[in-house]
């Protein structure tokens, strides 16, 4: 029997396509924000100082479980977040 799965970060990990450290989603970044502070292409202290602003933006974005292989892909896919990061 073939089982169907939604195309989500967690399912791709569950099925063995990726390890947890190889893929992210909006929900993953929200839940584990401190693990991502080095990957924003902005000074880590600035990201930490704007943590809640960034999380607030992330919570408004669609497709919270969609998988991204790099954080920059997630940022570039959402203009609200991309513009905020460029502004800070």
| Residue 85, pLDDT above cutoff 90 | yes
Question: Does residue 45 surpass a pLDDT of 80?
Answer: yes
Residues with Cβ < 8 Å from 27, sequence gap 6 or more?
Answer: 9, 64, 65
pLDDT at 22: 95
Q: Which pLDDT score is estimated for 68? A: 97
Confidence of residue 6 (pLDDT cuts 50, 70, 90): very high
Q: What is the pTM of this model?
A: 0.90
Dihedrals phi, psi of 24, to nearest 5 degrees: -135, 170
Q: What was the pLDDT predicted at 1?
A: 74
For residue 30, CA distances in Å to 17, 51, 71 come to 22, 10, 12
User: What is the per-residue pLDDT for 77?
Assistant: 96
Arithmetic mean of pLDDT, 55-66: 97
């Amino acid at each position: 029997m073939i089982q169907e799965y939604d195309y989500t970060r967690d399912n791709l990990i569950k099925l063995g396509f990726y390890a947890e450290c190889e893929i992210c989603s909006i929900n993953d970044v929200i839940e584990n924000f401190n693990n991502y502070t080095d990957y924003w292409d902005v000074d880590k202290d600035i990201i930490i100082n704007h943590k809640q602003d960034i999380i607030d933006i992330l919570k408004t974005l669609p497709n919270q479980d969609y998988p991204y292989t790099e954080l920059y892909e997630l940022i570039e896919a959402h203009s609200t977040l991309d513009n905020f990061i460029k502004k800070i």
